Amino acid sequence: MTNTIKDVAKIANVSIATVSRILNAQGGYSEKTKFRVLKVIEELGYQPNAVARGLINKRTHTIGVLFPKLSSSLVTDLLDGIEKAANDNGSSVIVCHTESNGEKTMKYLQLLIEKRVDGIIFASEILKDEYYQFVTKAKVPMILLSTESYAYPVPFVKVNDYHAAYAAAKHLIDKGHTNIGMISGKKDDIIAGIPRIEGFKKALSDHGISLSPDNIVFSRGFNFPDGVEGLKKLIGQFPDVTAIFAASDEMAIGTLSAAYQLGIKVPEEISVIGYDNLNLAEMSIPPLTTVGQPLAKMGEAAAEMLFTIMETGETPESRIMPHKIIERMSVKERKE
C-alpha cells in the first residue's frame, strides 16, 4: 500500500499532472508549488512507480544479457563492463544463464521480450537462426558480445580471434621457439575454435615453420581439465615442444598444472601463452603470459552500442577490439 502520485497530488492540493511535471522537471509550475509538492513527496517517502512509467513510456530502462555460463571470469568481466555502462545510462541489467541450452535460451528470450527490455546482449555463444528470428520479430535491438554472426546482420563487439591467435604464436616465434604446439578448444567452434587454430597455423607458416597434425591437440571445451588433458596428449604426440599456445587462459592454467604434475618446468623447459587475460592469469605460478582481451571494455562497448541504437535508431558498426600481448613469466626466450 505504498503512496502513489495521487496521494501526493491530493495532499499538496494540486493535480497529478502537476506532480508529474515537477517530477520530470518539465516546467509549467511555479516555484512555490514545486517546493510544496517536493515537501509532500519527502514526507510521504513517495517513490514513483517505474512499472507504470514503463507502460506508458514504452521504455523500461532495463536490458537483458544472455550468458552460456555465469561462473567464469570471462563472463564476469564482461558483465562488469555491461553493468557499468548500463548504470551510467540509467538502466539496469537482467542476467540470464542459458547453459548453452537452446530451449532455455528461447525461454529466456521470450521472458526478456515479455518484460519489454529495451535491448538484449547476447554473449559468448552462437546465434542460432531461431534466436535471431525471434528477437528481430519482436523488434528489440540486439548486440552480440564476444561472438559474431556470419549469417545475420547483427552488430557485434569482439576481438579478432584470428589475428589474436596469430599474435600469440608470433610472440612465441619471436622468442626463438620453433617447436610450437597448440592446445586448442573445440575443433568445430566457428567463433573461438577455428579462427584461433587458423591464426596459429598462419603464423607458423608465415615464418617458415613446418606444421604437422601432431602440433595441435583438440579438446572438448575451453576449460581447466581440457588444458591438463591437452598437455598430456600433446607431449605424447609431440615430445619436442618447447612452447605452447593454449586457446584460453583456463586451459593454459590447466597445462601449467599438468606440467607441474609431470615435473616439467615452466618456462624453463616449456613456455606457455594463454588467451583471455582473466584475473587468474596473474595469480598463476608462474604468472601467465597471455593475449589479453579488454573484457570489461568490450562489455561497456556492447551496452553503449545498445543505447545508441535506442536513441538514434541506427544500427551501429560492429567493433573489433584490440588485443594485446600481456607479458608475464610463463614464456622464456629460447637460445640455441
Partner DNA sequence: TTTAGTTACGAAAACGTTTACGTTGCAATA
Partner DNA sequence: TATTGCAACGTAAACGTTTTCGTAACTAAA
DSSP single-letter state for residue 213: G
| Partner touching 132 among a second copy, DNA, none, CB below 5 to 8 Å by kind | none
| Partner touching 184 among a second copy, DNA, none, CB below 5 to 8 Å by kind | none
DSSP single-letter state for residue 215: G
Closest separation in Å from C-beta 306 to DNA: 21
Q: Segment contacting a second copy (CB under 8 A): 4-12, 34-42, 82-90, 307-315? A: 82-90
Closest separation in Å from C-beta 10 to DNA: 10
| Partner touching 33 among a second copy, DNA, none, CB below 5 to 8 Å by kind | DNA
In 3D, which of 236, 231, 148, 137 has the Cα closest to residue 189? 148
Q: Number of residues in contact with a second copy, rule: CB under 8 A?
A: 57
Closest separation in Å from C-beta 198 to DNA: 47
Q: Using a CB cutoff of 8 Å and minimum separation of 24, what contacts does 84-90 make?
A: 84/296, 84/299, 84/300, 84/303, 85/299, 85/300, 85/301, 85/302, 85/303, 85/304, 85/307, 86/303, 89/303, 89/304, 89/307, 90/61
Adjacent-strand bridge partners of 275: 291
Are the C-beta atoms of residues 119 and 310 closer than 8 Å to each other?
A: yes
- Residue 150 to residue 4: CA distance in whole angstroms: 49
| Partner touching 319 among DNA, a second copy, none, CB below 5 to 8 Å by kind | none
The pairing of strands 271-276 and 243-246 is parallel
- The residue ranges that bind DNA (CB under 7 A) are 2, 4-6, 13-18, 20-21, 23-24, 26-30, 32-33, 46-49, 52-53, 55-58
Closest separation in Å from C-beta 7 to DNA: 8
Query: Among residue numbers 48 through 67, which ones bind a second copy (CB under 8 A)?
Result: 48-52, 54-55, 60, 62, 64
Are the C-beta atoms of residues 273 and 289 closer than 8 Å to each other?
A: yes
| Partner touching 316 among DNA, a second copy, none, CB below 5 to 8 Å by kind | none
CA 205 to chain centre: 31
Query: Is 71 one of the binding residues for a second copy (CB under 8 A)?
Result: yes
Closest separation in Å from C-beta 324 to a second copy: 18
Are the C-beta atoms of residues 242 and 177 closer than 8 Å to each other?
A: yes
User: Strands, E, within 70-164: which ranges?
Assistant: 92-97, 119-123, 142-145, 156-159
In 3D, which of 146, 69, 129 has the Cα closest to residue 323? 146
50 contacts: CB under 8 Å, gap ≥ 6: 60, 61
Query: Is 288 one of the binding residues for a second copy (CB under 8 A)?
Result: no
Query: Is 137 one of the binding residues for a second copy (CB under 8 A)?
Result: yes
Closest separation in Å from C-beta 45 to DNA: 12
Query: Is 80 one of the binding residues for a second copy (CB under 8 A)?
Result: yes
Query: Is 197 one of the binding residues for a second copy (CB under 8 A)?
Result: no
Query: Is 101 one of the binding residues for a second copy (CB under 8 A)?
Result: no
φ, ψ of residue 124 to 5 degrees: the values are 55, 35
Number of H helices, E strands in the chain: 13, 12
Query: Is 16 one of the binding residues for a second copy (CB under 8 A)?
Result: no
Closest separation in Å from C-beta 37 to a second copy: 18
Closest separation in Å from C-beta 14 to DNA: 4
Judged by the rule CB under 8 A, the positions of this chain that interact with a second copy are 2, 45, 47-52, 54-55, 60, 62, 64, 70-73, 75-77, 79-80, 83-84, 87, 92-97, 110-116, 137-139, 224, 250, 253-254, 256-257, 260, 279-280, 282-287, 296
